[in-house]
Chain A
Amino acid sequence: MTLAEDNKRDIELLKRMQRGDQEALAQLYARYSPIVYPLAVRMSGSVEEAGELVQEVFVHVWERAGRYIGERGSVYSWIVAVCRNKALDRVRARAQKRRPKEGEGSASQGVQEQSIRFDTQDLLVLKEYAAAVRSTLKSMPKPELRILELSYFEGSSQSDITRTMRMALGTVKSKMRKGIQRLRQAAKSPGGRA
């Protein structure tokens, strides 16, 4: 089973949410908050702000459940995109990017050190899927992965990346294209070679 195959059930949850069923939101939260929360921490750089972001994301999903357009991607990809956009809005709104204090380590490391708990079979399936995808992406050439990380998590432009990676713009563009292509392959067959 993959995330895409579970999408039908997620759409059912969205329909229930449109009827005001809060239990449906609770189920969606249980399913995706273990992914959305670390993403929010990684992008905001703050555990406190991540909590606010996660709430904003699920309130957004609750309020706009009826506006979800199935043709443009799965419910999971929609939720993740909402989180990323909201996090980038916050980051861009700040005059200066917040950076982790010296000796404190990155916020994402802090998250990794905390305990992990999965309540249901669904979450185990999700975890296995994530592990397969992670393993595929880890085999990706490091510069390509780094460029994708900078672009996705930091919201860096290609010009920003040329400075960070000390690469020519053409090289960044080409590596980014290759990286996206590998991601697309991984989305179709997680666990295969990226």
Chain B
Amino acid sequence: MKTEERHKNLELCIPYVFGRLNPGNRKQFEAHLATGCPLCIKEVAELHEAMALMPLLLKQQEGPPRIKQQLMSKLSAGKRIRPEEQRPAVQQPSAATERTPSKRAWAPYTLGALSILIILSLALYINDLVGTIGGQERRSNELQTELQRQGELLAILQSEDLEVVAMNGVLNPAAYGKILWDPGKKRLLLQASNLPITPVEKEYQLWETKGGRPISLGVFAVANEQEKQNFLRILDADVGQKQEAQAFLVTLEGKGGAQQPTGPTYLRTR
């Protein structure tokens, strides 16, 4: 990114933190933050910390105990808190108790309105039902994918000839990783911890060096904080026997990977 563009983005930090960017600009700025621009990330972090001092101007006060009780019971029930559930229901006078002679004249209209209401309710119910079924289908697909992944993990771990190598952090000593594979099968399991979240337009690349020549074993991205803590991925790669490999390393390259390692090395075998 050019210096002047970066500077332009820097000016957006204050309105962003104050919530004054329109949705389009906010999305654009968040995409910019996701690229890992160190200047803007630092600026936003400092502004967030500074603005977080404002509530300290108010005198500290615990809320009523019922807030915590309701919160914890909702979490235990495993469902979201819906504000309308917390308010006592307002007792509306029943239409049946207000019947007056003039009401009879409105009977046809009332019946018509009721019919429309019933049709609308049915339409909403059907729409809701379709949405629920769609959601359940999505969930079912997610579970099937997860089940398949677990099966693949298990198949690798159950191999008789399982090879394992450990990798240490290079840029960050807290980072570490492992590669597990069965030489007879063209798949490997990569585990990594404390790799930074992958910047946009970048991907990590796993390499094996044989005879002084680097061979790419695949690319991957650490998408979020959870994956940063513990990343697990099965890669299709023919690693071969452990003794044939001189080293394994993980570098950060452009999206799609590189022909040979060019970016910074994050993990390397001990």
* Chain A contact residues, CB within 8 Å of chain B: 3-4, 15, 18, 22, 25-26, 29, 33-39, 41-42, 48, 50-52, 54-56, 58-59, 62, 66-74, 76-78, 80-81, 83-85, 88, 108, 111-112, 114, 116-118, 126-127, 129-130, 133-134, 137-138, 148-149, 151-153, 155, 157, 180, 183-184, 186-187, 190
Contacts and interface: CB of A to CB of B under 8 A. Distances in A.
Contacts of B103: none
Nearest to B70: A55
Contact of B63 (A15, A50, A184): A50
B70 to A, nearest CB: 6
A36 B67 CA distance: 12
B63 A51 contact: yes
Given A58-B71, A152-B54, 14 more contacts: A22-B75, A25-B75, A29-B68, A34-B60, A37-B61, A51-B86, A62-B75, A81-B17, A84-B19, A134-B56, A134-B57, A152-B51, A157-B20, A186-B53
A108 B66 CA distance: 19
B50 interface: yes
Contact of A35 (B17, B49, B56): B56
A72 B226 contact: no
B76 interface: yes
Given A51-B66, A84-B19, A73 B56 contact: no
Please give me the 6 A-B residue pairs with the lowest Cβ-Cβ distance, nearest first.
A73-B48, A77-B52, A37-B63, A183-B50, A66-B226, A34-B60
Contacts of A59: 71, 74-75, 80-81
A107 to B, nearest CB: 11
A126 B197 CA distance: 31
Nearest to B49: A187
Given A59-B75, A148-B54, A184 B46 contact: yes
A149 B55 CA distance: 10
Most chain A CB neighbours (cut-off 10 Å) among B47, B55, B58: B55
Contacts of B63: 33, 37, 50-51, 54
B153 interface: no
B37 to A, nearest CB: 11
B61 A116 contact: yes
Contacts of A186: 50, 53
Most chain A CB atoms below 10 A, which of B17, B20, B74, B83: B83
Nearest to B63: A37
Contacts of A81: 17, 48, 51-52
Nearest to A70: B225
Interface string B210-252: 0000000000000011100100000000000000000000000
Interface residues of B, number: 47
A69 B226 contact: no
Contacts, number: 164
A80 B19 contact: no
B170 interface: no
A77 to B, nearest CB: 4
Which of B74, B75, B76 counts the most chain A CB atoms within 10 A? B75
Contact of A111 (B52, B61, B87): B61
B52 A33 contact: no
Nearest to B54: A152
A138 to B, nearest CB: 8
A1 to B, nearest CB: 15
Contacts of A52: 81, 83, 86
A19 B45 CA distance: 26
Given A69-B225, A77-B52, A35 B71 contact: no
A138 B53 CA distance: 12
A41 B62 CA distance: 11
9 contacts: A29-B71, A50-B63, A52-B86, A66-B225, A111-B61, A127-B60, A184-B50, A186-B50, A187-B49
A35 B197 contact: no
B44 A187 contact: no
A133 B56 contact: yes
Contacts of B71: 29, 54-55, 58-59
